[in-house]
Amino acid sequence: MPDFIERLRDAKIIGRGGAEYPAHLKWTAVKHAKGRYKTVIANASEREPDVFKDFHVLHKHLEDVFKGMMLAMETVSAFEGIFNLNAEYESKLKPRFDACIADAAKNGFKIRLFEEFPSYIGGEETALLNAFEGKRCEPRMKPPYPTESGYRGRPTLIHNVETLYDISRVADGTYDGKRYFAVSGVVPNIGTYHLPATSTVWEVLESSKNIPAEPFFVQVGGGASGVVLNSDQTKKEVAHGAAAIIVHLQSEEPRSLILQWLEFYHHESCGKCTPCREGTYQLLRMVEEHQEIPWKRMEPILEVLEQTSFCALGRSVPVPIRSYFSNVLHGK
């Protein structure tokens, strides 16, 4: 019987929170890390616009997610588990969470619930660790990485809830290489779909019967950070770790869309670093003050955000703006 970490490697289980890091490497690092007390964290932060697949997984497969979490705790010899739940989901899921936590306790697993006030930066693993410790929710310097020094300095394994669901399916022999895609926007069948992870964006839309009759483009990954693709590109690009696919009509007013992204980023910036704090503010003001989007004036700020932001939040700001300009507006 192979070691369960080897089974994760053979099944090619990767993180479903966006980074797509191989799960077996995280488990190996925590298992062999020095330290008597280790922690396993399930992260259901899910604050980005139009991203709701984690809620679907929790609603449909909560017991399987807990099974994956307990397997992780047992394998890496964790002292405790912490389940981070977006507080907006609390009223719908809390009774079932209490039951799962009680069942885990009967089997010797110490798991507690942390209800996070929803924040985009809370999806960044080290910012989440700070929130757990009662500190300001902002990212830490890495290294050290959480697998070496995470919650309260202990070796810590952090997984997205969909990853833990996949892990439970590996354990019971039913994992089939599929993943969840949340599809929304100007489509008739908004929802979450379980499809092969190798699906192109077009195949996801086709399988879910969500291909618009009018000219369209999509945002893949999330409603703020996702890359924007024109309809021709959707037939070539594999969706990969996309938590969401948002469909827009070609006729959508560009300035409104750019403002939507910038308002979100400015609101969600934790303020830790100057490039992100000031850059998102300046970009937002710039677009608000002009009826025509000042693309050339925006580019130097986007470059600074990309090159100097402390964490991925600031570095992701240029992605939707630049890809929308090049792929949809064609430089006009």
CA distance 115 to 282: 33
Residue in 292, 283, 271, 290 with CA at minimum distance from that of residue 317:
283
178-249 topology per CATH: Ubiquitin-like (UB roll) (3.10.20)
Architecture of the domain whose range is 4-172: 3-Layer(aba) Sandwich (3.40)
Query: Alpha-carbon distance 169 to 181, whole Å?
Result: 18
User: Which part of the chain is CATH 1.20.1440.230?
Assistant: 254-327
The arithmetic mean of pLDDT across residues 165-186, rounded, is 95
Helices (H) and strands (E) counted in the chain, each on its own, are 12, 9
Q: Are 56 and 168 in contact (CB under 8 A)?
A: no
Q: Which option is the CATH number for 254-327: 1.20.1260.10, 1.10.3720.10, 3.40.50.2000, 1.20.1440.230?
A: 1.20.1440.230
Write out pLDDT tens, residues 210-251.
999 999 999 999 899 899 999 999 998 876 666 799 999 999
The type of residue at 148 is E
Q: Give ranges for CATH 3.40.50.11540 in the chain.
A: 4-172
What is the per-residue burial (b if ≥16 Cβ within 10 Å, else e) of 136-147?
ebbbbeeeebbb
Residue 151 has pLDDT above 50, yes or no: yes
**pLDDT tens, 63-120?**
999 999 999 999 999 999 999 988 888 788 989 999 999 999 999 999 999 988 768 8
From 176-185, 210-219, 323-332, the region with the lowest mean pLDDT: 323-332
Query: Between vectors from CA 165 to CA 23 and to CA 25, what angle results, nearest 5°?
Result: 5
- Residue 131's pLDDT is 92
The confidence score (pLDDT) of residue 242 equals 66
Biggest CA–CA distance in the chain, Å, is 65
pLDDT at 1: 38
CA–CA separation, 144 vs 249, rounded Å? 44
8 A C-beta contact, residue 152 and residue 146: no
The DSSP call for residue 252 is: S
Predicted confidence (pLDDT) at residue 121 exceeds the cutoff of 90: no
Look at residue 119 in the predicted model and tell me its pLDDT: 80
Q: What integer pLDDT is reported at residue 332 of this predicted model? A: 45
Q: Which residues contact 148 (CB under 8 A, 6 or more apart)?
A: 29, 33, 155
What the block records as the tokens of 232 is: 């021709």
Q: Is the pLDDT of residue 172 over 80?
A: yes
The percent of the chain in helix, strand and coil, each rounded to the nearest 5, is 45, 15, 35
143 cis-preceded (ω within 30 degrees of 0)? yes
pLDDT digits (tens, 9 = 90+) for 30-62: 999 998 899 999 999 888 889 999 999 999 999
Provide the pLDDT for residue 2: 58
Provide the token pair at 156: 């810590």
Taking each helix axis from N to C terminus, what angle separates 161-172 and 53-76, rounded to the nearest 10 degrees? 60
Residue 328 makes CB contacts below 8 A (sequence gap 6+) with 217, 228, 230, 250
Within the chain, all domains assigned CATH 3.10.20.30 are found at: 178-249
Q: Report the alpha-carbon distance of residue 258 to residue 290 in Å, rounded.
A: 12
Cβ-proximal residues to 48 (8 Å cutoff; 6+ apart), any chain = 120, 123, 222, 223, 224, 225, 243, 244
The answer to whether 116 and 88 have CB atoms below 8 angstroms apart is no
The letter for the amino acid at 131 is A
Q: Six-digit token pair at 108?
A: 């010797």
| pLDDT mean across residues, the chain | 93
